[in-house]
Structures are given as structure tokens and as C-alpha cells.
Amino acid sequence: MKKNLLSATALALAISAGTAFAADLPSHKAPPYIPPPPLMTWTGFYVGVNAGGTFGGSNSIWTSVAPFALGGGASVGAAGLIPHAAASALAGSSIASRGVSGFIGGGQIGYNWQFGGRYVVGVEADIQGVVGGRGTANGIGVAPVIPGAPPHFYLSFNQASKSLDYLGTVRGRAGFLFTPNLLVYATGGLAYGGVNVSNSIFQAHFVGGAPLATLPNFGTSSAFSNTRAGWTVGGGGEWMFAPKWSAKVEYLYYNLGSVATNSLLVQPDLADPTGLLFASAVQTRTRFDGHIVRAGINYHFWSAPPPAVYAKY
């Protein structure tokens, strides 16, 4: 019995000494876990807004008048038909210079795909309204009738205008990452816009400085309004300044092609049985192209955490 008691006492003392010795050993705790910052990615959908300005490339509006029919010439004589028609055509033809510069603002939506670490391709669609994108030109033309005794001449009041109501694009983008959050890209694709062209001509015939009663004042007008499609090309830079947020600056050249309006300009002759002195075809033509400089902000939707891809920059 005594032997067992001594054994138990010795075991208890050994355990107590071991515990005290372990308490005196230095402590080695693991450092606190700090999660790594989220990896930058450009892959995914995004939406945004933009604002800027547009200024025209081709500002000219051409109006041409060409006679194609002659009447009996009761008021001016048969020999005066062609000179009168030619004078009217010369007075009515003009070249006006008016652009479609203005403020633009709208939104965009797109998708990016980042690959190879430093390359980004994608597609973007946008649409913008144009404020102040109208140009109107007024002019006066005078042309004498040769030969003519007493002297005859035509006085013409001309007005031509063009406007761009809205402008949109659907473009591909291809870019290179100079840093993980700085993208420089080229872009190009489809452009479309709402365009308007109008023209009016009002003419009066004078002989010896006074109107001729049998040749009344006359005029014509025409207009075109529709959506035109063309192409665009440009480039820009985009900076991911915060997770899911980026800012961009961009330049685009767009070309929607040429637009023409047609009408008839008829000089009545009240003294002639046909009621006609001459008739002319009128065409007004202009081209819609220009430049866009704008800035924008995009919000990026990351549907999943960025892949663990590390690139050397």
C-alpha cells in the first residue's frame, strides 16, 4: 500500500514539473491573416455615361440649278428663253458653309475580354443627343440676262440648312494595358445618326429695274430628314481608378455619307398659253461627317472574382 502511494505521489510531481516547464517556454503565434487586395480585371460587362463636343468635317452645302424645259416665251421672245433660264440658274446656285458643331451627351454599354495578361478586346454601343448641331446659311444671288434690252436680271434669295439630331455607334475595341489599370485602345465600326437637310429659293424677275407683270415671283423648297448609317474610327484611353470604376477620354471620326434633296423651280409666264417660261431642276447636297471628342465614366460588372493571373508590367 505504501509502495503504491509513493508511486502516485511521484507521478503527480512529475506532471506538475512538466507543466511548469512548458509554461516557461517562449510562445510562437501565427501572424494575423491579411487578405490580398482584389486583382485588377477588365473582363465583363460595363455601362456608363459620356459628354463632349462634335464639330463638322465637311461644312459645305451645294445647291445647283439646271434648266430642263422651256415654254413659248411670249413675254421675252423665243431668243430670250435660254438667257432667262440661265440667269435664273446662276442666281439660284450657291455654295454655303455651315457645320453641325455642338454639345453631345449620352450613354454606352459594352463588354471587355482580357487575355494574355496585357490585352483587352471588346465591343461597345453608344448613343448621344446633339445640342446646337444645326447650321443655316442665307444668301442673295443676282444674275443679268444677256442679251437683253432693256436689261433684265434675276434676284434670288437662298437659304440652306443642315442639322444632326443624334449620333450613335456600334464599335469593336482592341487595346493594350500599359499598367494593370491603364488601357490604351483603338476602335472602329458602325455609325448612325439623325440628319436633316433643307433648302429654299425665292426669285424675282426685273426688267429695267422694275418687275414684269406677266412674269410673277416664284420659288421652291425641299427637305430631307432620316437616319443615315456610315462608319467611324478612333481611339482613346481608359483608367480603372477604383474597383469596378473607370474613366475614359476618346476621339472619333464619323462619316454618314452624302444627302441630297431635289425640287423644281418654275418661272410662270402669264402671257403664254403654256403658262411656262422655263422650268429648272434644283438639287441641294451636303455630306455629314465630323469629329467627336468626349469623356466618360464606366461601371464594370464582375460576375465572378478575378482569375489569379499575374502579369509582369
Q: What is the CA radius of gyration of the chain?
A: 39
Is the pTM higher than 0.75? The answer reads yes
Q: Which helix (H) or strand (E) holds 300?
A: strand 276-301
Distance in angstroms (rounded) separating the CA atoms of residues 228 and 289: 11
Contact in structure between 265 and 201 (CB atoms under 8 Å): yes
pLDDT at 29: 61
- The C-alpha angle with vertex 8 and arms to 6 and 10, in degrees rounded to 5, equals 70
pLDDT at 39: 60
26 inside domain: no
Cell of 141: 444671288
Return the SS3 of 14. helix
pLDDT at 182: 96
Q: Domain range spanning residue 133?
A: 62-301
How does pLDDT run along the chain (313 residues), one tens digit per residue?
A: 444 444 444 444 444 444 444 445 455 565 665 555 456 689 999 999 999 999 878 888 999 999 999 999 999 989 889 999 999 999 999 998 877 889 999 999 999 999 988 999 999 999 999 998 788 889 999 999 987 677 889 999 999 999 999 999 999 999 999 999 999 999 999 999 999 999 999 999 999 889 999 999 999 999 999 999 999 999 999 999 998 999 999 999 999 999 999 999 999 999 999 999 999 999 999 999 999 999 999 999 975 554 444 444 4
Q: What is the pLDDT of residues 129-169, one digit of tens each?
A: 999 878 888 999 999 998 767 788 999 999 999 999 999 99
14 inside domain: no
Contacts of 280 (CB under 8 A, 6+ apart): 65, 66, 67, 68, 85, 88, 89, 92, 264, 265, 266
Contact in structure between 112 and 42 (CB atoms under 8 Å): yes
231 inside domain: yes
Q: What is the DSSP string of 46-77?
A: EEEEEEEEEEES--EEEEEEEEEEE---TTT-
Number of domains in the chain: 1
Distance in angstroms (rounded) separating the CA atoms of residues 140 and 86: 17
249 inside domain: yes
pLDDT at 308: 44
17 inside domain: no
308 inside domain: no
306 inside domain: no
234 inside domain: yes
Phi and psi, residue 287, nearest 5°: -120, 140
